[in-house]
Chains A and B, each alone.
Chain A
Amino acid sequence: MTAATKNNKGKPYSLARSRRIIQRLAVVGAFTIGLRHILPGESGVGGSFDAFCVFGGVETFLPCLFKGSTLKATNLLNFTMLLGALGVSLVAGRAFCGWLCPLGAVQDMFAGWVRRLSGGENHIRGKRSQARFPLTLPPAADKPLRYAKYLVLVVILIASLYTVYPPLHEFCPMRAVFSLNLTPLLWAVLVLFIVGALLVERFWCKYFCPLGALLAIFNKISPVRIVSSDHCNNCGRCDIECSMAIEDVPLNLNNPECVRCMECLETCARDGSLELKVLKP
Chain B
Amino acid sequence: MVHKIMKINPRYYPVILLITFVLFVLLGILLGFRPQHGNGNHESYMLMFTQYAINGLGAIV
Question: Are A44 and B37 in contact, CB atoms less than 8 angstroms apart?
Answer: yes
A87-B24 contact given A77-B36, A99-B17, CB 8 Å threshold: yes
A281-B1 contact given A80-B34, A99-B17, CB 8 Å threshold: yes
Q: A77 CA to B39 CA in the complex, in Å?
A: 13
Question: Are A87 and B36 in contact, CB atoms less than 8 angstroms apart?
Answer: no
Residue tally, chain B, CB below 8 Å to A: 42
B-contacting 9-mer, from A63-71, A171-179, A181-189: A63-71
Question: Are B1 and A88 in contact, CB atoms less than 8 angstroms apart?
Answer: no
Residues of A within 8 A of B36 (CB): 47, 75-77
Within 8 A of B (CB), among A81-101: 81-88, 90-92, 95-96, 99-100
Does A258 lie at the interface of the complex (its beta carbon under 8 Å from any beta carbon of B)? no
Does A108 lie at the interface of the complex (its beta carbon under 8 Å from any beta carbon of B)? no
Question: Are B44 and A64 in contact, CB atoms less than 8 angstroms apart?
Answer: yes
Closest chain B CB from A165 CB (angstroms): 8
A-B contact count (CB 8 A): 146
Closest chain A CB from B37 CB (angstroms): 7
Residues of A within 8 A of B25 (CB): 80-81, 83-84, 87
Does A73 lie at the interface of the complex (its beta carbon under 8 Å from any beta carbon of B)? yes
Residue tally, chain A, CB below 8 Å to B: 57
Question: Are B4 and A5 in contact, CB atoms less than 8 angstroms apart?
Answer: no
Question: Are B35 and A51 in contact, CB atoms less than 8 angstroms apart?
Answer: yes
Among B5, B28, B40, the most chain A Cβ lie within 10 Å of the Cβ of: B40
Residues of A within 8 A of B7 (CB): 275-277
Q: A262 CA to B18 CA in the complex, in Å?
A: 15
Question: Are A87 and B23 in contact, CB atoms less than 8 angstroms apart?
Answer: yes
Q: A81 CA to B11 CA in the complex, in Å?
A: 25
Question: Are B16 and A68 in contact, CB atoms less than 8 angstroms apart?
Answer: no
Find A84's partner among B1, B21, B32, B54 (CB 8 Å cutoff): B21
Within 8 A of B (CB), among A1-27: 1, 3, 5, 7, 13, 15, 18-19, 22
Q: A70 CA to B51 CA in the complex, in Å?
A: 13
Does A246 lie at the interface of the complex (its beta carbon under 8 Å from any beta carbon of B)? no
Question: Are B37 and A64 in contact, CB atoms less than 8 angstroms apart?
Answer: no
Within 8 A of A (CB), among B36-58: 36-37, 39-44, 47-48, 50-51, 54
Does A79 lie at the interface of the complex (its beta carbon under 8 Å from any beta carbon of B)? yes
Chain B residue at smallest Cβ distance from A78: B33
Could you give 12 example pairs across A and B, Cβ below 8 Å?
A13-B11, A44-B37, A70-B40, A70-B41, A72-B41, A77-B35, A79-B44, A83-B25, A83-B31, A88-B17, A91-B20, A95-B17
